[in-house]
Amino acid sequence: MAARLIAEREGWSAVTIRRLADEIEYSQPVIYSHFENKEAILEAVAVEGFREFTSKMEEAAARGSTDRNALENVATAYLDFAFGQTALYEAMFALPTGLRFASPAETKPELRAAFRSLAAVIRPFGAEVELTTETFWASLHGLVELERSGRNRPSARAERVALVVRWVLGG
């Protein structure tokens, strides 16, 4: 998707319908015959992001020699993913899209798969897998957001990740 390339290079504010039309060398209305509106474009990018996210997390988990090591790898890979392609991560979590987990029925399979890829490394530690995974995910997401908005010291990123991992292990 052209939107993703532009966003990664120049930020999402540079992604306009006219700019996309230029990029694909068509006029603006053509875009609206493929997507209902701009939000639908973001949503498509986000879904693509969740697919890549899931496979990155699964890889990271597979590289782990122990359950603990798998958890560490996933936590680290999570932040690497977020900071390696900030625009993609933004589309997945920060920009307004209609993507929800809320109701089981209408949740996109890509979102459920992403959740499962995190739950897989949580499962060995404690009984309440769903609760712990939600909270683990939230912690990692919070680390990303607060660092990205300049509220956390970038230099201590690895230590914060290690702390979250310790929390999960000990809790």
Partner DNA sequence: CTACGTAATCTAGCGTTGATAGATTTTCAA
Partner DNA sequence: TTGAAAATCTATCAACGCTAGATTACGTAG
Residues binding its own copies (CB under 8 A) = 93-94, 99-102, 111, 128, 130-132, 134-135, 137-143, 145-146, 149-153, 156, 159-160, 163-164, 166-168, 170-171
Shortest distance, position 3 Cβ to DNA, whole Å: 10
Shortest distance, position 171 Cβ to its own copies, whole Å: 5
DSSP letter assigned to residue 101: -
User: Of its own copies, DNA, none, which one sits near residue 28, judging by CB under 5 to 8 A according to partner kind?
Assistant: DNA
Q: How far is CA 125 from CA 63, 74, 169, in A?
A: 18, 14, 6
Is 44 a binding residue for DNA by CB under 7 A? The answer is no
First-to-final CA distance of the chain: 41
Cα-to-chain-centroid distance, residue 34: 24
d(CA 129, CA 62): 19
Residues that bind DNA (CB under 7 A): 15-19, 25-30, 32-33, 37-39
